[in-house]
Structure 1
Amino acid sequence: MRSVLLSLLAAASSIELAASLAVPDTHVLHEKREVTQGTPWVKRNRVESHIKLPVRIGLKQNAEASEKAVEWLMEVSDPNSEKYGQHWSQEDVIKAFQPTPETVEKVKAWLKMVIHEDRITHTDNKAWFAFDASTEELEKLVHAEYYEYHNEDAGTVLLSTDGYHIPKHLQEHIDLITPGVKGLKVRSDDLAKRASRSSRLVKTPLDENKTWNITDIEKTDNCDRLITPACLQALYKYPPQSSKVSPKNSLGIFEEADTYAQEDLDFYFAKFAPWVKNRVCPILNGIDGGSAPTRPSEAGIESSLDFELAIPIIYPQTTTLYQTDDSYYANNPTNGLFNTFLDALDGSYCTYSAYGETGNDPQLDPTYPDLHPGGYRGKLMCGTYKPTNVISISYGEQESWLPVAYQVRQCNEFLKLGMQGVTIVVASGDDGVAGPPGTVQGCLGENGHIFSPTQPCGCPWITNVGATTIAPGKTVNDPEVAVYDAAGTKYYQELASGGGFSNIFYAPAYQTKAIANYFKISNPPYKYYHNGAFDPPDGVYNRDGRGIPDVAAIGDNIAIFYQGKETTGGGTSASAPIFAALINRIVDERLASGKGPLGFINPVLYQHPYVLNDITSGKNPGCGVEGFSASVGWDPVTGLGTPNYPKMSKLFNSLK
């Protein structure tokens, strides 16, 4: 695993940044602001010296865990391993990954040179130091100058630095310091809505009042125009669900700033899935004030899509809703995503200081208690919920939107969940090789032509799902193709299966053979670069990055009912819960035979790609080009392909 952060430690960059700073020879540049063309942030005045800042020092995890984490995960995930399926307990994981006493002692000794020991809070899991410091104290500590960065359009101001320094001997002990290059939000007049950043991946139709015009729900004659539960069953050949299911196996679904209405679910199930009885609804695991359901007039299309697709597949298995964040932060968010969710699953992931829980980034993530009107007044929820065996996530951002260290820490947490037997399924994005249109970083580089990978899809320890469609005039018995709908044909915005190569993470060992095969038989006609180093660019994609997606499922012409209306939608937001629901059914079969959950499934799938329907037609346009092409075997459009449930079930149930 490599990140572009490593390049920030170069001595040349340190000299350039420190031209006006008295940086001693004992220190080194630890993190530097990466300037992207078109950024909305304008650097202005120095931050006044007396301003108080909440400071966090993220400590490196145990070195042995850093070196062996992937090995530990693969031991329980590789079907050829003698330890396959022998997942760890949460307690064992926490113990293995906590920083060493040496790291704690050395970093604290450095802090005490500027900050009195009584002011330093050390978290119970030893992962963070937290304290309040004046700007003058922080600048003295990290040999940096802090400025105000203004975003006039969003009405937001950050207190931030172009880069900061730490003692050379602490590089191996410190992950990151905040506020750092991404800064601390101190004032907001009109925060941008989360939806404006396309954190929800579902594509909304041109006409949300169109009717389904379908009478016989069991027929699959028009699945090229409207996907119903009957179409899904015909496509992926899964049998009717058993009436006997495990009470310990609920499908987890993540939601934020989007809530379902029970009346919508009831109507949809009555129409398309009459076997779903008795006003079935998700089990609510509300996180930091997250609540559900809501009134039909306020229902969200993402939540409606997720539950209307998943529940008919798994019923009478249950779904568990991880509804994150109170109404203020859900509608007026900062720029981060998933941290409060991960906090609630693992108490060691979040920590406490005088400013509230400080395991999260104070600029990127919500801060609780929330004193805004209607805010959640409790403390940040830490380790409150046990994770379900399978979790579906249909939300995402772009790698370029967040600090590398922020993403690496989240990726490590996904790895730990995999070690514990949790399968994380994530939508790969709906904008092909680009980011959402209309954003500053839809594509990267000075000319906006470099492909923009999605986040958290670059993390190698999750299963990414791309989107397919049934071609017009074709049936469920014909091969699916990669989805592509030009803007204005079916949806307000262009829809193309998100795919490509991470700029932060290397291709993992389980994937390298599949990627090499793709380059051999279907080499993309674009220049490329290595190690995520796209500035200055030598190409448009990272040749040695982790490939996205891993698999695919139908994601077009999906029947949805929300806000009391019949409509259709599309995107990998549909693909992810479909694939996750099928995996959850297989987990239930394993539990019934006395076996355990599946956990991280990618090594099994890449070794046995025959259990998926290979998609060989279609592209994922973006950044002014046609994007990548679907191909025989794995490809960065539809991955290994779509589910063949009988084959998948037979394979996974044959494993110990």
Structure 2
Amino acid sequence: MSSSDPFRAGVSLPRYRGAFLASLLLVLLLSACLFPGPGSPEADRHATPAATVVSRQAPTLLPDNHVIVDRPIIHNLPPGQAVPQDLVLPLTIDLLYNDTALERTLDQIYTPGSPLYRHYLTPQQIRQAFGPSDEQIQNVRQWFSSQGYRILAVDSLATSLRVEASVGTIEHSLHLQLQQYIQQNGPSSQKFYLPTGQPRLPAHIASLVQSIIGLSTFGIFQPELRSQQPGPAAAAKSGDCHQYGARQTLTHAQLAAAYQFDQLYRHGLQGQGISIGILELNEPFDLQDVAQYFACAGVQPPSIEVENVVGKVAPGPGQGEAALDLELAGSLAPQAHLVVYQAQKASTQDMLAIFQRVAAENRLAAFSVSYGAPEDALSDNEQLSLARALRMMATEGISVLVSSGDCGAFSERLPNIALVEMPSAIPYAIAVGGTTLQVNVHNERTNETAWGRMAGAGSFCQNDWGSGGGVTQSSLFKRPSWQTGPGLNSHYDGTAGLILTPDLTPVQAPNGLRQVPDVAAAADNIAIFWHGRWVRAGGTSAAAPIWAAGLALVDQGLRQLQKPLFGSTPTLYWLANHPGRSQLLNDVVSGDNGFYRATPGWDYVTGWGSPNFFALLQCLQSA
């Protein structure tokens, strides 16, 4: 999220009056949607069994030489110091899993004509088909317990154990050392730990342990947030709504009309019986802020549940991220149940724990994640652990919407070094970029451009360089077979502008690896209520909950007709390659993110563009 100074002038809330145009577009859309997309004949999409049966495909034992502990590549690493021996650290022990077979099954679920097409699996089916045996889990558990570790939890999907132990115990049992570092990171400093050497585990345990997460703490996830602390003079009195929508900030009603939420409402779709998840890392919220927003928006306050997945976050207004997420998702899907998944730290371990909880519960239609880190801040094992959890959620049909970042093409926050963010660059995250949206007095969408560098932005990004996007440099994530369509092969060469990768070679795009974002939505000039005042907010942190709310209502409409849920990224690309794409998605064709440009078709700034949710629903209902 990004935000700026409070504002005071008032403005009325006009109503949408484009019903005739919407009806005309709907007729055109339905005509287009009656024709199946390339490679997806209508008969094939219905030729699926009545029940999903997946056979047991047990994982094979891991080889002796696999890398259990790794660390990100960090340039100019300062000297390290020994970590206190009595310091207690939590660790996540990733267990062996048949990830290859799970990936193959997932491909079948999203491939038209496959017997498994659109037949999502339950957590129980995933564990039984692809996970370790109970005996294998018990062997790992017993060994770590015998070494002095305290077993905190065993993931119900059998992907990992969460344990804790003193540094002395960790170093002695794994036969490695931990070092503590302090590094300057822009205007602030960061303290982190890194392991030295590879652990030595008994062969019968090493063959069951995929990786150990938590020995490296370099990667920290940041909310896509820029804020200014409010002062007493900025506070709004309870019930004072005249600042809502002031200075042409976007209100919930304007967003609802621009992206066709209002048409979903007219068909009775407001989120009844649907749950939307929101991830928050050490980020509380004030219920009074949320209540004030909904009072001024004229919307019934949502049902909110908080799950403390790791520890308990101290109360307070937070940085504004949670307020933004709740106010946008709750106002746009006003009768949905919002589930806030909280963790105490912004670490890979805590994000992974939340991902695993969401996959294990399997109760969400959509899951909004407004946090990211530069891809090179995470080790390979950390990226693979997050990817496994996202793969599971996609297999279950959960739509995971992840902010693509607010530093344009430069997620490391430094100019000329082009990187994308994790976890948005993982293929089964729907990466959401940002736009600047304009509406008229009737709340009709009149213009939408790529959200770019903001006025006054400095040489170190403060979430004000625009929509995150580009190509990953991680060889772990090849460009998926379904990531096709006009614009995806547009070529960029960083030589002339000295736009480089971390190894100081010019960026080349495409490069055969995953490209982001997938879609976009408003990320600029949005009204929210936080810390007792109205603020102008934005960032791709706003775009992710907008998309999460919209897909939740789409899923509600699909459920009413007993249709499969929207699911993950392959569904989006099938729709984007559909003859009716121009009615489904608003192509954003102007603006840039510091290197890449918004162009017709897919682009590295806004993906396929912003949504028309009612049109998306109609197309999927007719399929």
Q: Per the shorter chain, which TM-score range?
A: 0.7 to 0.9
Does the C-alpha gap of structure 1 residues 617 and 205 become closer, same or farther in structure 2, counting only changes over 3 Å?
A: farther
The 5-angstrom pairing of residues 454-603 of structure 1 reads: 454-470=421-437, 476-488=444-456, 494-504=464-474, 505-514=476-485, 517-518=486-487, 520=489, 522-527=490-495, 536-540=503-507, 543-603=511-571
CA distance in 1, matches of 2:80, 2:148: 34
CA distance in 1, matches of 2:93, 2:242: 61
1:322 is aligned to 340
SS of 2:473's partner is strand
Please point out which of 413, 416, 419 is paired with 1:442. 413
CA distance in 1, matches of 2:170, 2:294: 57
Q: 1:73 Cα shift?
A: 1.8
Q: 1:519 Cα shift?
A: 5.9
Structure 1 position 309 matched with structure 2 position 328? yes
2:104 is aligned to 71
Does the C-alpha gap of structure 1 residues 128 and 653 become closer, same or farther in structure 2, counting only changes over 3 Å?
A: closer
* Higher mean C-alpha deviation, range 583-592 or range 551-560: 583-592
SS of 1:391's partner is strand
Q: What amino acid is the match of 1:324? A: Q
- After TM superposition, the score normalised by the length of structure 2 is 0.72
1:403 is aligned to 379
Structure 1 position 345 matched with structure 2 position 378? no
Does the C-alpha gap of structure 1 residues 494 and 95 become closer, same or farther in structure 2, counting only changes over 3 Å?
A: same
CA distance in 2, matches of 1:282, 1:631: 39
Paired residues of 1:205 and 1:567 also in contact (CA < 8 A): no
CA distance in 2, matches of 1:157, 1:314: 39
* Higher mean C-alpha deviation, range 252-261 or range 456-465: 252-261
Please point out which of 251, 263, 270 is paired with 1:228. 251
Q: Deviations over 1:69-104 (max 9, x none)?
A: 223223333455443332111110111221369987
Q: 1:630 Cα shift?
A: 1.1
Q: 1:645 Cα shift?
A: 2.5
SS of 1:518's partner is coil
Q: 1:484 Cα shift?
A: 1.4
Q: What amino acid is the match of 1:599? A: G
1:414 is aligned to 390
Q: 1:243 Cα shift?
A: 4.7
1:191 is aligned to none
CA distance in 2, matches of 1:38, 1:478: 48
Q: What amino acid is the match of 2:260? A: K
CA distance in 2, matches of 1:599, 1:494: 31
CA distance in 2, matches of 1:494, 1:574: 14
Paired residues of 2:433 and 2:469 also in contact (CA < 8 A): yes
CA distance in 1, matches of 2:529, 2:611: 25
SS of 1:158's partner is strand
CA distance in 2, matches of 1:170, 1:287: 27
SS of 1:615's partner is coil
1:282 is aligned to 304
Paired residues of 2:271 and 2:336 also in contact (CA < 8 A): no
* Higher mean C-alpha deviation, range 77-86 or range 401-410: 77-86
2:42 is aligned to none
Equivalenced residues, count:
534
2:210 is aligned to 175
SS of 2:536's partner is strand
CA distance in 2, matches of 1:269, 1:54: 39
Structure 1 position 42 matched with structure 2 position 79? yes
1:21 is aligned to none
Does the C-alpha gap of structure 1 residues 53 and 308 become closer, same or farther in structure 2, counting only changes over 3 Å?
A: closer
The 5-angstrom pairing of residues 3-22 of structure 1 reads: none
CA distance in 1, matches of 2:190, 2:227: 28
Paired residues of 1:428 and 1:572 also in contact (CA < 8 A): yes
The 5-angstrom pairing of residues 198-213 of structure 1 reads: 199-204=222-227, 209=234
Q: What amino acid is the match of 1:618? A: G
CA distance in 1, matches of 2:302, 2:428: 32
CA distance in 2, matches of 1:600, 1:620: 25
Paired residues of 1:634 and 1:640 also in contact (CA < 8 A): yes
Q: Deviations over 1:160-197 (max 9, x none)?
A: 214457799998764224565x27x9xxxxxxxx9xx6
Highest RCO, 1 vs 2 (Cα 8 Å, sep ≥ 6): 2
Structure 1 position 259 matched with structure 2 position 278? no
Calculate percent identity across the aligned residue pairs: 23
The 5-angstrom pairing of residues 46-125 of structure 1 reads: 58-62=94-98, 66-99=99-132
Paired residues of 1:30 and 1:165 also in contact (CA < 8 A): no
CA distance in 2, matches of 1:413, 1:155: 27
2:587 is aligned to 614
Gap runs ≥5 in structure 1: 1-25, 186-193, 347-382, 436-440, 622-626
SS of 1:484's partner is coil
CA distance in 1, matches of 2:161, 2:275: 36
Structure 1 position 148 matched with structure 2 position 179? yes
Q: 1:570 Cα shift?
A: 1.1
Paired residues of 1:396 and 1:427 also in contact (CA < 8 A): yes
Paired residues of 1:283 and 1:320 also in contact (CA < 8 A): yes
